[in-house]
């Protein structure tokens, strides 16, 4: 081979290797959400923005709303590597993620989004929780903190807790248990199914956080809203495929994990200052009656529901092999710590 030809071949090989290295550095993750962009997904949207900025576009999170999986199968998709990141709610499939359902127990005492964030992040690091989610090749990344749920409904408004007797209500997890305790008939379904269920009469009321009432159209059907029932909330983590996380370069992993706090700061600020700022005017514009229960009624509700629900959860989860008492005590201790 002539010297010039050899030199050209070497340079071409180096260029190919360089380009190949550049291509190899580019990482795209698919992210499975549902519904549409809303307050509930702002943590993931902000995370994608931050990761792309920190890596100069070398690491991107491609967010899909319903195009990759339905909400009840996101954890399954993570387990087989169908996508690298997803959001799910524990109450959608409590048998798949029993350890974190402790945070869906009614009347736990969480009073703010920031407290919900801190308690969730602490629980996600508990060894029993890590082991639980490892069955799905999943690593919990961050929560999607939500305020206490309240109920929107159609027809006659319940003015006492006894008026919930026989009311069909969409309620998951511990909120469903709370509703059942006052005689309502809870039905578990994903958020995306709720409006159709209201339209068809399958349910007459829905337990949601304010953002979801607006995002999924329940306010368009509502006659009344409970302002202070506050039976609990749901725990909805953002989760990643563990193999995909481990395969990231150190720089990309740091860009991802190092952006979580800022993503959650943005989420909470947006929820408290934008979403909640719209909620009151939305109720007023639609003439939705606000129902406020007395302190005595609420105390009776808590006393009837909280203790038995916690005891039932501990027994059920202990029978399933979880250190349930330890997880419950851990959660309560963290709630007290972050008051």
Q: Average of pLDDT values for 214-223?
A: 92
pLDDT tops 50 at residue 327: yes
Interacting residues of 148 by C-beta distance below 8 A, sequence separation 6+: 110, 209, 230, 231, 232, 233
Confidence of residue 200 (pLDDT cuts 50, 70, 90): very high
Q: What is the pLDDT of residues 100-155, one digit of tens each?
A: 999 999 999 999 999 999 999 999 999 999 999 999 999 999 999 999 899 999 99
Intra-chain end-to-end CA distance of the chain, in Å: 76
Encoding tokens for residue 98? 């029993």
pLDDT of residue 174: 86
pLDDT of residue 18: 42
pLDDT of residue 254: 98
Give the chain's mean pLDDT: 91
287: left (phi over 0), alpha (psi -120 to 50) or beta: left
Say which residue the tokens 């127990």 belong to. Answer: 105
pLDDT of residue 16: 42
pLDDT of residue 91: 87
Q: What is the pLDDT of residues 5-40, one digit of tens each?
A: 444 444 444 444 444 444 447 999 999 999 999 999
Q: What is the pLDDT of residues 328-338, one digit of tens each?
A: 999 999 999 99
Give the three-state DSSP class for 27: strand
pLDDT of residue 172: 86
Encoding tokens for residue 177? 């248990």
pLDDT of residue 262: 98
**Strands 85-87 and 185-187, how do they pair?**
unpaired
Residue 16 to residue 276: CA distance in whole angstroms: 54
What domains lie within the chain, and their CATH numbers? Answer: 26-145+235-274 (3.40.190.170), 150-233+288-337 (3.40.190.10)
pLDDT tops 50 at residue 273: yes
Q: Which residue has the higher pLDDT, 258 or 159?
A: 258
């Amino acid at each position: 081979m002539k010297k010039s030809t050899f030199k050209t071949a070497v340079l071409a090989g180096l260029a190919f290797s360089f380009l190949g290295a550049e291509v190899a550095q580019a990482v795209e993750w698919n992210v499975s959400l549902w519904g549409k962009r809303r307050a509930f997904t702002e943590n993931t949207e902000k995370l994608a923005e931050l990761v792309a900025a920190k890596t100069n576009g070398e690491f991107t999170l491609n967010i899909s709303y319903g195009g990759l999986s339905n909400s009840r199968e996101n954890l399954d998709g993570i387990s087989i590597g169908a996508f690298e990141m997803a959001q799910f709610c524990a109450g959608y499939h409590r048998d798949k993620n029993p350890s974190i359902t402790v945070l869906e127990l009614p009347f736990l005492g969480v009073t703010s989004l920031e407290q919900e964030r801190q308690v969730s992040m602490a629980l996600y690091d508990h060894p029993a929780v890590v082991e639980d989610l490892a069955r799905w090749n999943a690593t919990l990344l961050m929560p999607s903190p939500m305020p206490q749920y309240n109920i929107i409904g159609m027809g006659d408004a319940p003015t006492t807790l006894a008026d919930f007797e026989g009311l069909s209500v969409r309620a998951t997890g511990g909120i469903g248990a709370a509703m059942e305790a006052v005689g309502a008939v809870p039905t578990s379904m994903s958020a995306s199914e709720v409006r159709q269920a209201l339209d068809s009469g399958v349910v007459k009321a829905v337990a949601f956080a304010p953002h979801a009432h607006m995002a999924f159209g329940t306010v368009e059907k509502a006659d009344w809203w409970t302002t202070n029932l506050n039976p609990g909330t749901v725990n909805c983590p953002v989760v990643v495929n563990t193999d995909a996380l481990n395969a990231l370069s150190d720089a990309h992993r740091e860009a991802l994990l190092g952006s979580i706090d800022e993503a959650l700061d943005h989420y909470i600020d947006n929820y408290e200052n934008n979403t909640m700022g719209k909620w009151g005017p939305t109720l007023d514009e639609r003439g939705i009656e606000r129902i406020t229960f007395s302190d005595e009624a609420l105390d009776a509700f808590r006393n009837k529901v909280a203790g038995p629900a916690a005891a039932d959860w501990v027994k059920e989860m202990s029978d399933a092999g979880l250190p349930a008492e330890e997880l419950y005590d851990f959660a309560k201790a963290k709630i007290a710590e972050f008051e």
